[in-house]
Structure 1
Amino acid sequence: MFNSPLPSASELPSSRQLLRSTAIALATAMGLLVTVVMPSEYAVDPTGLGRAMGLTQKGEIKISLAQEALADEAAAKVAMPAPATTVAATTVAPAPVPQVAVVEPAKPAVKPAAKTDEVSLTLKPGEGREIKLEMRKGTVVAYEWSASGPVNHDTHGETYDAAQGDFHSYNKGRQVNGDKGELTALFDGTHGWFWRNRTSSNVTIVLNTAGDYLNLKK
């Protein structure tokens, strides 16, 4: 490794030179403080050079901004809202519920149970017979009849005081073996069926009825 030779005593600065260098450095630093640092940072310009170089104006701007920031901070503290006052909750009693009277619906009138009947009759050749129901106006009867052979029939009704041959025909047929449906009374009286056997043999007829009628007559 190459080692540099130590300087000789004659090459080293003397104490006077060191003091001079230190004095120059100190003077330079003081000059910079007075002419540059103080004008630019604190707007202090004892020599006037700082304003000439525009440094004093910068310092004034810095100080103005700092003062405005302090003023804004103080204003914000003054404008802070006071803590909210706790208001005790007031308990409001619920309004009384009006009592509503419960009205029970009227019960429908109990209708009497429907009457039911099953009857039969036998017609000889050429014979005619009838079965009648006593009914009030507007009442209804469901019926069904069947015959062992073809017969002529007439479903009709008569008022209680009807003259001979005065009746109302609901439906009729010739040479049929049965019929079914509903019979609605158009008036108070007797309502039913007339059959005639036009064959050469006996014919048995079976009739079933169910509905609102007073009685059955053969």
Structure 2
Amino acid sequence: MSRFVSFEKDATSKAATAVRAQVAADGMDEKLVGLLEAYLDEQIASNVVDEEANLMLLKLYTIYPVKPEQHQTRVAQVLAKGLMALPSKYFLGATYMVTEALRKDKNITDLLKAGDVLQSCLFTDFWTLDLPFAKKIPGFEQAVRAFILSTIAKSHEVVAKAFVQAQLNLSEKDVASLVAELGWTTKDASYVVTPNSENQMRPKKFKEDIEFADILDTIQVLSR
């Protein structure tokens, strides 16, 4: 699973420090582009995500436009990291800064489609997509599976093993290993999901928004 960091708060690497210094000096300077790209490389290598930095990079691409092919790879990397950060809104925010020219690139188009599929919870469909670019990024599939498991955990108390296996596109043995780390237990052909605030039945609450004058009028009518 990806770890979230912020160059402004807890990221202490050389690349993050350089970005922080330049943002403090002039956050709109074109030289920040190269620093953010170097920081993106570091995020990929170390399997971390800095949402703010990556969105800043996309914004600077719109301010200092060049030929789309000059930064197609970088935009695709930012989108892939966005998928790894789901259910964060980072991916959605990134899509708003992908120009029509960039959307002609196959890797970018594939990643945008993958985002739609994942956010629609069409997980079995996701595994049929051909995403060679994204799969080269360390931790990509693991992060996607973590998102899928978190989604299942929010909507199920008990879930069929076969269903989970299909959603994750993994063998029964691999699935068992993953869910054990989350504290799920086995019951016959199902998994019992660890209770959380989302998957528990909630008592119905009735809130009446009635003015006292309305109640008084009703009492008077009934008293006649």
TM class by shorter chain equals under 0.3
- Structure number with higher helix proportion: 2
Greater RCO (Cα-Cα under 8 Å, separation 6 or more): 1
- Structure number with higher strand proportion: 1
TM-score of the pair, normalised by structure 1 = 0.21
